[in-house]
A = this chain, B = another copy of it.
């Protein structure tokens, strides 16, 4: 919790590390699913994990492959054409950087909530 008279640091809450291509909710869902499944996921499994429609998943996968974050492979499994999606090495690295910045957002919010709790317990409390 910053002190009342602390100078406002420019961009202190700008969270520049929240890369927009990853931050969008559907794409965050896709990136997190693929991070948790290192060998990749078939299109239909990924669609279900993310609760997306075919069209939406295709569109977002296109943006993620254009950004070199995700690889899409066409192939056959049990004689049926299948699409395999997985994080690229670059995608894994940038997702971890993104998540590090998310941790900063959570830490800031927790610090703010903690400050509020201390004030409500002790009405004389004021941050140093």
A15 partner residues in chain B, CB cutoff 8 A: 25, 28-29, 32
Contact among B1, B23, B48, B51 for A36, CB-based, below 8 A = B1
Question: Interface residues of A, CB < 8 Å — how many?
Answer: 49
Complex-state Cα separation, A45 to B2, whole angstroms: 13
**Copies of this chain in its oligomeric complex:** 2
Q: Which of A3-11, A58-66, A67-75, A76-84 participates in binding chain B?
A: A3-11
For residue A25, give the distance in angstroms from its CB to the closest CB of chain B: 5
Assembly CA distance A16 to B49 (angstroms): 12
**Residues of A at under 8 Å CB distance from B?**
1-2, 4, 8-16, 18, 20, 23, 25, 28-30, 32-33, 35-39, 45, 48-52, 92, 95-96, 99, 102-103, 105-106, 108-113, 115-116, 119
